[in-house]
Amino acid sequence: MNAARQLHDLGQSLWLDNITRGLLTSGTLERYIREFAVTGLTSNPTIFDHAIEKGGFYDDAIRTKALAGTSGEALFFELALEDLTRAADLFRPIHDSTGGVDGWVSLEVSPLLADDTAATIEAAARLHARAQRPNLFIKIPGTRAGIPAIEESIFAGVPVNVTLLFSREQYVAAADAYQRGIERRIAAGRDPAVGCVASIFVSRWDVAVQDKVGDALRNRLGIAIAMVTYKAYRDLLAAPRWRRLADAGARPQRLLWASTGTKDPAAPDVLYVEALAAPDTIDTLPEKTLLAFADHGKVKAAMRPGGGDAEAMLAQFVRAGVDHGALAAELQREGAAAFTKSWRDLLDRIASKIAAPAKAPQT
């Protein structure tokens, strides 16, 4: 049994952090489901930008849509929904067999809406309605403007993947928004079973401090942040507030590890996957990391609910001059800016594909 399947048996869901039309048409995604127990996937603007840039899988579709008068964001969302609804259908048996716990795919609202709560709420509802798939999450950032949009979207019955969370405190704010939305649904007599995950970004912490700390602390901050967040997650699930919601039929907002590809070439390529093995969580892996872990990863002891020595590790970073509270806010701002840049690059790439002359058919 490969390590990916062992993680699945431990109780952790493995989702692919990638989507391309080639993955779908080649049968590769189906193979990952079968061989590596992949039970969902995520997407973001950067992933789609790279997918459209490489190869010609989207060229004809872009040109056809452009000739029909579609362009810009509208054209992109048509492409994305075509891919993601197809992927959602592949994962639908898993979604059904797990009672909606697993088998999800994710689509992000436009990053240009990051500071606009009302527009985010409207876009989330519209995109989910267009998809017509019960196992499609709409990704909303856990920013100041995003938190009320998360609550309102959950209340409206839109499943949400809360993205761009970097700390325990940001996670708790997202979890509170989810619970408020569910409490409002219960008070209104609505079904409380609305899917939600909270995505904690891990490796970017270590990139941010790699030139600020010594070798003894290298590549250890992201894992420490994840561990204290996991403790908060377990504490929340044991709290009376959540137990009341669960008794009414609500689903837990599952904790998801994002950005788990190793950025440091001197570190093991499966560093974060091995360290973040934890039941009742999700790890969304870049394709390269998934293949590496299935090949030579090791499933070690599961993460301890109490957080282990994470607090002591964070104290070492504080003594080294790292203000992780301020850094979490900075990383969230930088993450939102990076997605905005990727979004603009994506739209520019689509425009360039439209402008490029059509290739002559091969004879």
- Give the catalytic positions in this structure: 139
d(CA 338, CA 336): 5
Q: What distance lies between CA 54 and its chain's CA centroid?
A: 22
- Inter-CA distances, 144 with 109, 118, 183, 208, 242, Å: 16, 13, 21, 22, 23
- Give the full edge-to-edge strand order of the sheet including 281-285: 38-41, 13-16, 281-285, 254-258, 196-201, 160-165, 136-141, 105-108
By residue count, the chain amounts to 363
Tokens 């790279």 sit on residue? 50
Q: Are 198 and 255 in contact (CB under 8 A)?
A: yes
Structure tokens at 73: 């964001």
**Coil vs helix vs strand at 97:** helix
d(CA 58, CA 354): 11
Q: Is the dihedral of CA 226, 272, 203, 41 positive or negative?
A: negative
Structure tokens at 123: 């876009």
Beta-strand ranges (E) seen in 228-288 are: 254-258, 281-285
